[in-house]
Amino acid sequence: MGTVVSLRLEDADAVDLVETVFHRWDEQFSLYREDSELSRIARGDIRLTEASQSLRTCYALALDWRERTQGVFTPHRTDGVIDLSGVVKALAIAEAGAALTARGPANWSINAGGDVLVSGDAGHPEWVVGIVDPSDRGELIASVPLRHPLRAVATSGSAERGEHIWTALDGEPSPFQQVSVFAADIVTADVLATAIVAGGETTLNEMTERFAIDVLAVRRDGQLLATPGLKRAV
C-alpha cells in the first residue's frame, strides 16, 4: 500500500499473524501492484460486477461513507479510477487488531503510515501518540493519551505526500495542512480525517457534531483548531 507498518507488542509470535493480514489486503487492493484485483479493475481487465465479494463489500462501505459525508469522501479518483485506499488501510489495521485481541488480553499498538490503533489492559500505562508539526517534522504539536473509548487516531494532509487529496472546494486547496481525528475505531478516524481535509472547515464542523470524535486541525497559516477534548494536549 506504499506505506510502513510498525508494531509494538509483547507477543512476538503475533508478528507473523499481523504480516499475513496486511499482505493479503495489499495483494488484493493495492494500486501500487499491477497484479492486485483492484488494479485489474482499474485497467478494465475485469468489471466491478465480476470482482470478488470482499472487494465489492469494501466498495459498498466506501460508498456508504460517501453518503455519510455528503459526498466529500469518495472512492473515485478524478480520472474515474476506483481507489479504496481511504478505507482499505484502516480495514487492514482493524482486522490485524481483532486478530491480536483474539489471542487474549494484551498490550499492543499498530501504526500504519501514521494511523494508529492501540489496546491495553487496566494495568498497562496508557498509550500516548505524538502529533507531528506539519511545518517541522522533527517537532510535535501535541502528545495525546489514547483513552477508552477513543483508541484510534488517523492523520491526513499534504505535509508527507504533497497535495494528493481531492477537495470539494471548487478546485481550491484545503485550508488545512493536516488533520488528526481520534475515534473509537480506526475506519471512522481514517475516513473522517480525509473528509475534513477535503471539505474544509464546514465539514470539520459537521463531522464533529455528528460523530463522537476529537479533532486537531492545522491551518495553512499554522493556526491550530482543536475540539474541547484535545485543547489541553496542544
3-class DSSP assignment, residue 164: coil
Task: For Cα atoms 122, 187, 38, give the angle at the middle one, nearest 5 degrees.
Answer: 140
Q: Which of 70, 68, 48 is nearest to 59 (CA)?
A: 48
Which positions of the chain have pLDDT values less than 70?
122-123, 158-171, 234
Predicted structure pTM score: 0.91
Q: What CATH number did the domain enclosing 181 receive? A: 3.10.520.10
The C-alpha cell at 115 is 494511523
Q: What does DSSP assign to residue 82? A: B
pLDDT at 161: 52
pLDDT at 106: 80
pLDDT at 157: 84
pLDDT at 11: 84
Q: What's the domain count of the chain?
A: 1
> Which structural domain, as residue segments, surrounds residue 146?
5-232
Within 10 Å of residue 138's Cβ, how many Cβ atoms? 6
